[in-house]
Amino acid sequence: MSDRVMVFAAPFVRHEPGAGQLLRDAGVEIVHGPTDRCPEPAELVDLLGGCSASIASNESYTAEVFGALPDLKTVARWGVGYDNIDLQAASERGVVVTNTPGRVTQSVADQAFCLMLALARRLPEQQEVARSLNWRHVEGTELWSKTLGIVGFGSIGRAVAERARGFSMRVLAYDPRMDAWEAGRLGVEPVGLDELLAESDVVTLHAALTEGSRGIIGEQQLRAMKPGAFLINCGRGGLVDQPALVRALQEGWIAGAGLDVTEPEPPEPGDPILDAPNTIMTPHNSSMTAESAARVNATVCENVLDVLEGRRPRFVVNPQVFGPGG
């Protein structure tokens, strides 16, 4: 019997049959799971019964899920974040967890700048005025020569810094694991979070969501920002204390927010973030370009195939699964 792979990642399914051709050529059976919602753990167990691999989206892989799936060899995350996967439980069960770093970097960096520009130039309001035919001036602000603060200086943060050079922006960055060489190459100033918040005209979040970074932007941090500053979040909704952000927008602590992510996703009906003033929201879409989908689909197939054929994948996020020293 051939290995079976269940796919939950919508961008993979959307680009089928080409997306999975590498796996099919190797004799792997591909089954498409639900892509319009995240299955609850009990349903996830039912769907993955007898499967060797999952090409995962945002569904939760808990210790109970891993315990109920003895045939599961790998969870291959479509994208970078894996905060929805219990890595310790996966490792204890011998399940290799992989992701696809760097494959969506340019797309997410583009989206971050898209949101910055849309906020600065009040693009939604301009569009509304233009379509009303009752034309009037909508005065925005320039990004040119402003100060940009980047929280999280991984590949996406660095790609945002690259783009900022074209706008002659002063760029500050905060990251506990700052790559000083990369910062110097890009003309970026490494600073503490307090200094970044106080001096930036735009703060953009690109940190991984961990217990240490959850709620890194809360009431204290929002009050520390300039009243005219914008907050951009193309990282994870959990990086921000969302009720505090709503208050900040309602009471004018900051000038606006561009959000590609929220917590939860999507927001519940009636969530005040949906009506927050000076806020542009997109549906966790920053990685969704044709180019990035092709890159991620190829890499996620390579990750799965490596595990199924007994090789160590290039992008393993739980190296402890391979024993002491990873």
* Selected catalytic residue, list 265, 291, 312, 314: 265
295 is a catalytic site residue = no
* Selected catalytic residue, list 93, 158, 206, 236: 236
Bridge partners, 6 (sequence order): 31, 54
Residues 54 and 72: their CA atoms lie apart, in Å, by 8
Neighbouring C-beta atoms of residue 262, cutoff 10 Å? 22
Amino acid at 267: P
* Coil, helix or strand at residue 94: coil
Transcribe 97-138 into DSSP letters.
EE--TTSSHHHHHHHHHHHHHHHHTTHHHHHHHHHHT-----
Do 78 and 296 form a contact (C-beta atoms < 8 A)?
yes
CA distances from 116 to 72, 181, 275, 279 (A): 42, 26, 19, 11
CA angle 240, 242, 244 (to 5 degrees): 100
137 is a catalytic site residue = no
Residues 223 and 245: their CA atoms lie apart, in Å, by 10
* Selected catalytic residue, list 15, 214, 247, 284: 284
Residues 263 and 241: their CA atoms lie apart, in Å, by 9
64 is a catalytic site residue = no
Q: Which residues are catalytic?
A: 236, 265, 284
